[in-house]
Amino acid sequence: MKNPAPAVNLPNILTLSRILVSPLLVIFLIRGMYGHALLIFALAGVSDGLDGLLARWLDQGTLIGAYLDPIADKILIMSAFISLAVLGIAPPWVAVIIISRDILIVIGMVVLSFNHIRVEIRPSLVSKFNTCAQITLVIAILIDRVFSDSLGMLPWLCWVTAGLTILSGLHYIYKGMNIFQDAHERG
């Protein structure tokens, strides 16, 4: 029998780093230190892809990592969008769409949990594209702030990100309803 990976490993440390830098990101944004915020957010975005890659490559995937990774993503992305919207830098409607989707997913998980329905946490392909779009949008907004070089792409990126966020949310609702229905038909 194969030994499980230790909980404290490089992929999980990278995941935890995203949680730990989120307050720093907010502080940099509030202080108008957009270059610092860009660096922190870009590194955190890279760590998001790197932690999963390393977990598979080093065979260090853990249950705690499976739970922490989406939580770290949500904390970082929500911190960025709430801050950017409150500061008037990002359109508030984009932040509302992103946060609403995440709240709906949490509510769905709570409903399934209250009904003693176990769910394996695995992001869908559309959710991965959604996360990538959200990270790209924050980076583009910060690049625009740092270099004052609006190429006219921000409105387009906002709409693409909003569309992917809505699509991802609808996909999770569909999956959740099917899981709920299947569990009640079996049980």
Q: What pLDDT does 150 receive?
A: 65
Q: What pLDDT does 53 receive?
A: 86
Q: What pLDDT does 66 receive?
A: 83
The segments of the chain whose pLDDT lies below 50 read 1
Q: What pLDDT does 173 receive?
A: 92
Between CA 181 and CA 187 the distance in angstroms is 10
Q: What pLDDT does 118 receive?
A: 85
CATH 1.10.10.10 is held by the domain 10-186 = no
Q: What pLDDT does 1 receive?
A: 38
- Give the alpha-carbon dihedral of 46, 43, 77, 79, to 10 degrees: 170
Q: What pLDDT does 2 receive?
A: 55
Residue-range domain boundaries for the chain: 10-186
